[in-house]
Amino acid sequence: MIPVITLDGPGGAGKGTISQIIAGRLGWHLLDSGALYRLTALAAERHGVAFDDEAALADVARQLDVAFLPGEENEPVRVMLEGEEVSKEIRTESCGNNASKVAALNAVRDALLQRQRDFKQAPGVVADGRDMGTVVFTEAPLKIYLTASAEERANRRVKQLQDKGIDVKFQAILSEIQTRDERDMNRAVAPLKPADDGITLDTTDMSIPEVVNHIIDLARERSLV
């Protein structure tokens, strides 16, 4: 049995950072499922596909020519679309918003399902997303729902952008986060919610190492590592 740890939760809860550290510590594969939705949105935009054309968007998702290349030591994974590096492009707010729109479409989610399941390879995979524990890897022996207050998530995002020299308004980021939460949680297909057999971790007052160690302890308790 190849073990899977799923990390679901709203945007800005720290899933990306935490998943990357845990996968690195355990030497496991990493599935950044949000990147696949972001890449679908970016490819659609580049190919002039409208964000309300479900069938055409599903085709884009099915034909997505992507690669996740390991970064240099301590560097994040390099994300490639059609042979070109798009690691930065897919992280913009506008790409995130478009991703949230395409992610609400059933045909797009179906088109990406097998691609996500294919990441389950020995010795294990850490899967980061919204429906990893509820839809994609229902069999996962450890399912985490990582959350934090919307204000804390907005604060983290503002700080992250400021560190990159980008000046942003807290209120604008907070309202984008709230709009995206609303769309991700209330969509008809695969809405964001904790798995029935999952563990919820509120990281509002937790540091990154605390969260990482807690999850690795849970994995040990389950003899996954």
Per CB under 6 A, which region of 75-83, 124-132, 162-170, 206-214 contacts ligand DC?
Answer: 124-132
| 131 scored as a contact of ligand DC (CB under 6 A) | yes
DSSP-derived letter for residue 222 is T
User: Rounded to the nearest 5°, which phi and psi values hold at 146?
Assistant: -95, 125
Is the Cβ of residue 88 or residue 220 nearer to ligand DC in the bound state? 88
Where in the chain does DSSP place strands (E)? 4-8, 29-32, 66-69, 78-81, 84-85, 125-129, 142-147, 199-202
Counting contacts by CB under 6 A, is residue 19 touching ligand DC?
Answer: no
The interface with ligand DC within residues 29-68 (CB under 6 A) comprises 33-34, 37-38
Computed over its alpha carbons, how large is the radius of gyration of the chain?
17
The two structure tokens encoding residue 73: 């030591």
Q: Does 153 bind ligand DC (CB under 6 A)?
A: no
Task: Give phi and psi for 48, each to the nearest 5.
Answer: 70, 30
Instruction: Give Cα 162 distance to the centre of its chain.
Output: 22
Nearest Cα to 90, choosing from 79, 100, 76, 104? Answer: 79
Question: Interface with ligand DC includes 130 (CB under 6 A)?
Answer: yes
Taking the least distance from each CB to ligand DC, the nearer of 116 and 225 is 116
Q: State which of positions 180-219 bind ligand DC (CB under 6 A).
A: 180, 184
* Residue 10 engages ligand DC in binding (rule: CB under 6 A): no
- Residue (148 or 184) nearer to ligand DC, CB: 184
Assess contact for 69 and 78: CB atoms under 8 A.
Answer: yes
Question: Binding marks (x or -) toward ligand DC, 61..100, rule CB under 6 A?
Answer: -----------------------------------x--xx
Residues making contact with ligand DC (CB under 6 A): 11, 33-34, 37-38, 96, 99-100, 103, 129-131, 180, 184
